[in-house]
Amino acid sequence: MKTKNIYVILWFILIIFFTILLAKFFLQSGNISPIIEESSLNVTVNGSNMEILNAKDIYTVTESRSFKKGDNVIVSFVLPTDNYEFPTLLLSTQFVGYTVSIDDTIIYQKRIDKALDGDFLPRDICLITIPYSAYKGKELVLNMTVSQSDIKTIMNTPFFGNFDDLVRNYTRTKAVSVFLGTFMCMFGVIFLLISLFFAAKINGLSGQVRSSILCVCGGAWILTSQRLNLVFMTNNEIPAFYEYLSLYASLPIIMLLYCTICHRLHKKASVTSIIAVSLIELSFVICHLTRIRYLNMFSRPFAIMYIICLIGYMTSSFYYLRRRKASTYDKVQIAGLNTLISSLIIASVLSILDKNGARIFNNAISIIMGIGGIMFVASRIMTLMVSLHNADPMKKREMALSSLAYIDSLTGLPNRTSCDQETMKLDDNNLDYLIMSLDLNGLKEVNDSRGHSAGDELLRNFADVLNICFPDPCFKGRTGGDEFIVLLNEIPNEGYIESHIAHMNKLLEDKGKDTGFDHSVAYGYCYRHEMPQEAHSHEVYMKADERMYALKRKQHEQKKMLKESVQL
C-alpha cells in the first residue's frame, strides 16, 4: 500500500467529518417561537386513576408493568396560551392507534382499526396541525388503543410549536444520521457501478458487490430507523419494513463477506453457519407474517445472535491473519470490516440495554454505525485503489502471455494458431477473398552455410518485406519454418495482388544484393471464386499451396539449369 493512497483515505475521512460539522453549524438557527416539550402528562389506563407521568413511564401504571393488546390509554395536557403562527404537535408513537381531540372534538386520528385488529404498528412520527383558533389554554386529549401485548413504551415525549420550527429542530437533531445514511446508500450504489465497470480489471468482484449491498443496507437502516421520512414529508409505515429488512439482510452479507476475504467459502462450517442464520431470520419473518409474534419482539434475541456471530467471525479473521501470510489487500479489507463489526457490536449492546423499547439510544446507535460505516467505506476505497493500481501490470502480463500464444517471437508476425483462426473466419461470410501461400527458397542453405543467426536475419527481412508490400487490411502470418501466408478479405481489383507481388520481388532482390544470400520466395495464390461453391477456406488454401509448390519446382529447375550453364 503506497503512502500516498493512505493520505488520500485520511483526507477522505477528514472531509467527511468536516462536512458533518459544517452541516450541524448551518442548521443551528433560532426558532420563531419556543418549542414546548410536554414532559408532564395526565395519564389514565383502562379507566384507572389519573396520574401525572412522563411518556416513557406510562407503562408503570399497569399491574404487569407492560401493556396488553386492547389496553386503552388516555393522555392529556394543556396547550400553551402563547401565539403560534402555525401551531403543530409533533407526536411519536408505536404499537398504538390513536385519536387526537380538543374539547371533545376529534382533530386527527390514525390506525384505530388496525390497533383493534391487533396489526403490527411500528414507530410512527406525525406532525399534527392544531386549529389556530381553538388551542390556547385548552386541553388536548390523546386516546390510544394498544395493538399488541408485552409492550412497555408506546409513545415518546410530544412537542408543541410552529410547524417550521418543529421540522427544523427534528432535522437538526437527526442531521448526522441523515448525512451518514444518505452517504452510505449513495456510496453503495456508486461503488457497485464502479466495481461492475472495472470488473475486468479488479480482483474480488464478488467481495466488492457484497460490500456495496452492505453499505446500502447500513444506510437504509440508519435512515429508516430514525424515521427520516418525516423530513421528506411522507408519513407511512413502509420505513419500518425497510428497517427490519436491511437489518436482517446485513448479517448474512457480513458473514459472506468475511468468508470471501478469508477464503472460507469452501468450509462446511462457514456455509452451515450462514444457512443457519438465514433460516433463523426466515423463521422470524414467518412468525411475523402469520402474526404469531411480531418482529419487534425478536429484537433482543436477534441482537444477541448478531453479537455472537460477529464476535465469532472477527475472532476467525484474527486467526486467519496470524496463520496465513495475508496480502495487503486482504489486511485492509479485514481492518475495515472489523471496524464496522466493532461499531455494530456496540450498537447491538446498546439495543439490548434498552429494555423498555423506548429507543433512547437510537440516535447514538445510528451515529456509531455511521462512523463504523465510514471507516468501512474508506477501506473499500483503499482496496479499489490497490486493485486498479495492480490492474495495469497484470494486464501487461496477460498481454505478454497472449502474445506468446498467438505471435511468432522471431518475426513479430501472427503464428500458426492465429493464422488458422483467421483462415477459418473467412467462411463466416460469402465475400470473395484471396489466400496466398509463400515459402522462402534459401533458408536451409543459409542456415547450413552461414549459421542460424543468418537464417533468423533472412526470416526477419522477409517479414519486413511482407509488412511493407501487403499493408492492412491484408493479414500476414508465419505458419512455420520458412512458410508464410497472406489473406485478403477485401479485393479492390484483379490486378491488385500482382502489383504487390512485383513490389515484393523487387524488394527481396535488393535485400539479396545487400546481404549476399538468396532472398527469393515461391508463392501461389487462389481466389475464393475459383473454387466450387461448397469449398471451404482450407480447400482454397490447399489450392494456393499447390500452386506455390508448382512455382517452387519451376524455380528450382531454373536455378539448376543456370548452375549447369555456368559450369559449362
CA atoms of 328 and 498, how far apart (whole Å): 61
Q: Which amino acid is at 328?
A: T
Which parts of the chain register pLDDT below 50?
1-4, 233, 235
Q: What is the pLDDT of residues 54-75, one digit of tens each?
A: 888 887 777 778 889 999 999 9
Residue 505 CB partners (closer than 8 Å, separation 6+): 520, 521
Other CB atoms within 10 Å distance of the CB of residue 411: 21
144 close to 158: Cβ distance less than 8 angstroms: no
The residue with cell 533468423 is 456
Q: What angle do CA 473, 479, 485 make, to 5 degrees?
A: 35
95 close to 148: Cβ distance less than 8 angstroms: yes
The SS3 call for residue 522 is strand
DSSP state of 67: B
Secondary structure element (H or E) that encloses residue 45, with its range: strand 41-45
Adjacency order of strands within the sheet including 434-440: 475-480, 483-488, 434-440, 521-527
How many alpha carbons fall within 13 Å on the CB side of residue 232?
11
- Widest distance between CA atoms in the chain: 142
Other CB atoms within 10 Å distance of the CB of residue 344: 23
Residue 494 CB partners (closer than 8 Å, separation 6+): none
Residue 405 cell numbers, joined:
500464444
Residue 68: what are its φ and ψ, rounded to 5°?
-115, 160
What is residue 20's predicted lDDT score, i.e. its pLDDT? 59
What is residue 390's predicted lDDT score, i.e. its pLDDT? 60
Torsion over CA: 56, 58, 59, 60 (sign) = positive
Residue 67 CB partners (closer than 8 Å, separation 6+): 59, 73, 95, 146, 149, 150, 151, 152, 154
CA 346 to chain centre: 26
544 close to 525: Cβ distance less than 8 angstroms: yes
Q: What is the pLDDT of residues 403-462, one digit of tens each?
A: 566 788 888 888 888 888 888 888 887 788 899 999 988 788 888 888 888 888 888 888
What is residue 566's predicted lDDT score, i.e. its pLDDT? 60
Secondary structure element (H or E) that encloses residue 107, with its range: strand 105-110
Residue 504 cell numbers, joined:
515484393
129 close to 163: Cβ distance less than 8 angstroms: yes
Torsion over CA: 326, 328, 333, 334 (sign) = positive
Q: Which amino acid is at 69?
A: K
What is residue 109's predicted lDDT score, i.e. its pLDDT? 92
CA 334 to chain centre: 17
CA 265 to chain centre: 19
The residue with cell 452517504 is 183
Residue 68 cell numbers, joined:
396488553
80 close to 136: Cβ distance less than 8 angstroms: yes
What is the pTM (predicted TM-score) of this model?
Answer: 0.62
CA atoms of 207 and 126, how far apart (whole Å): 40
Residue 285 cell numbers, joined:
419473518
CA atoms of 354 and 451, how far apart (whole Å): 89
96 beta partners: 146
The SS3 call for residue 136 is coil
In terms of DSSP H, where are the helices of 107-204? 112-116, 163-173, 175-197
Residue 522 cell numbers, joined:
515461391
